[in-house]
Amino acid sequence: MKIRKRVIFLLIIGFLIIFSINLILSKSNRRDLKGDIVLWSNEENYNYFLEVANEFKERNKKVNIHIINIGSEDCLEKIKELNEKDLPNIVELNFVELEKIKEKIDFIDENKSIIEMYNKNFKDSRIQEIKIHEDYYGVPFESNPIALYVRNDILNKYGYEASELNTWKDLIEVGNEIKNKSSGEINIFSNKDKGNIELLIISQLVDYEKDSYTYTKEDILKEFNNIYKDEYIAEDNNYLYRIASLDFYRDIVEDKELGIWTCKNPPSYKIGENKLYALGGKNLVALNVEKNRDAIKEFIAFAATNKDLLSKELRDNKFFPSSLYSLTVKEEENKIENIEGNSPFLILVNIAERAPSIKKFDKLKEILNDIYYN
């Protein structure tokens, strides 16, 4: 009996010694993160980055993070002008902007490591946007699910139903009829949606291509100009449709829009074709990384996958995260009086979760680059 107790005692002592050695070695091998990180943020996401930076610094006392609020329109041009040593460590860029400064990015392996570690956070369609050939040039941060919002009270007043609106042709025909019946008081589209409509139309046309036909840049611009004509665009709030995302839903919730609205999947060219697109969201892109690669890598991963903080931003209708885990939030149950039908929030979540990859994405990037930057 004594021998047995002695053996058990020696085994316990041996276990504690091995555990202590491993603990000491792990602490000695682990490098504390340290250094300064400068992140350029747009206006919409500035408060999120302040909050996530504070939480990150609580865990990493030797890291200093500086969040600078910079206008989205100025960001790309400033990046192009600056020398490498003067660049910020992290910026927010969409996939078209990313393509224009890819030669300044030396963070390929780190981006790959983040995406492989958190691969279940991101849909393939979002990974597609930061991948050039086989390399990763950023980490997905935002998504941009695009939906159709319809001024339902006006539609019903003139004898129409939102269920009739499935194609671009439907939108134009019904819109023109209501425009005529209202003596021009109600127009078709808002002047705020040019970018979303352009992105949606180009994506659809490229995605619908078959081996027997392809669209040139000129074909696509012609299609866009046939739909988004000057005479169809309202300069005030008297429009029938919005092609928008979470930003317009926020405006409805905050009573910044008149009337009663219905939300549904956006129009397509033909019934039965894919309508689900979530394109053009911002990505976290590392630029100046010479001194503190480890801290930059850890912060990007932390900011792009922080489920609690990202879910809070989504729940507050601030922006739409790319992290799929952050989409599992419940919408506020308070009924919004100026919305009829299915919840826009749930429709946008569904689009973000189900939007497929675009089959000819390289061509899409080529056309968008040609349109916007040449």
| pLDDT tens-place values along the chain, 374 residues long | 556 666 565 566 756 566 555 544 444 334 589 999 999 999 999 999 999 999 999 999 999 999 999 876 678 888 988 888 889 999 999 999 999 899 999 999 999 999 999 999 999 999 999 999 899 999 999 999 999 999 999 999 999 999 999 999 999 999 999 999 999 999 999 999 999 999 999 999 998 887 667 888 888 889 999 999 999 999 999 999 999 999 999 999 999 999 999 999 999 998 888 889 999 999 999 998 888 899 999 999 999 999 999 999 999 999 999 999 999 877 665 678 899 999 999 999 999 999 999 988 998 988 888 877 66
Q: Does residue 21 belong to any structural domain of this protein?
A: no
Asked if residue 1 belongs to a domain, the reply is no
Same domain assignment for residues 108 and 87: yes
| Same structural domain, 359 and 211 | yes
Shared domain for 201 and 314, answered yes or no, is no
Regarding whether 287 and 345 lie in a shared domain, the answer is no
Q: What is the pLDDT of residue 207?
A: 87
Give the residue numbers spanning the domain of 116.
34-143+280-327
Q: Which two tokens stand for residue 206?
A: 């490229």
Whether residues 347 and 198 share a domain: the answer is yes
Taken as a whole, the chain contains a residue count of 374
C-alpha separations of 90 from 230, 331, 361 in Å: 38, 31, 25
Cβ atoms of residues 160 and 174 within 8 Å: yes
**Quick one: 188 and 311 in the same domain?**
no
Same domain, 135 and 191: no
Same domain, 247 and 363: yes
* 19 part of a folded domain: no
Do 321 and 251 lie in one domain? The reply is no
Contact 326, 126 (CB under 8 A): no
Dihedral (Cα; 66, 67, 71, 72), 10-degree rounding: 110
For residue 174, being part of any structural domain is answered with yes
- Residue 278: the pLDDT is 93
55 within domain boundaries: yes
For residue 29, tell me if it sits in a domain: no
10 is a domain residue: no
172, 118: one domain: no
The answer to whether 167 and 269 have CB atoms below 8 angstroms apart is: yes
**Do 252 and 316 share a domain, yes or no?**
no
CATH number reported for the structural domain that contains residue 315 in this entry: 3.40.190.10
300, burial (CB in 10 Å: exposed 0-12, middle 13-18, buried 19+): buried
The identity of residue 333, as a single letter, is E
| Residue 51 domain-assigned (yes or no) | yes
Q: For the chain, what is the domain count?
A: 2
Q: Are residues 363 and 228 in the same domain?
A: yes
CA dihedral for 266, 120, 311, 90, sign (positive or negative): negative
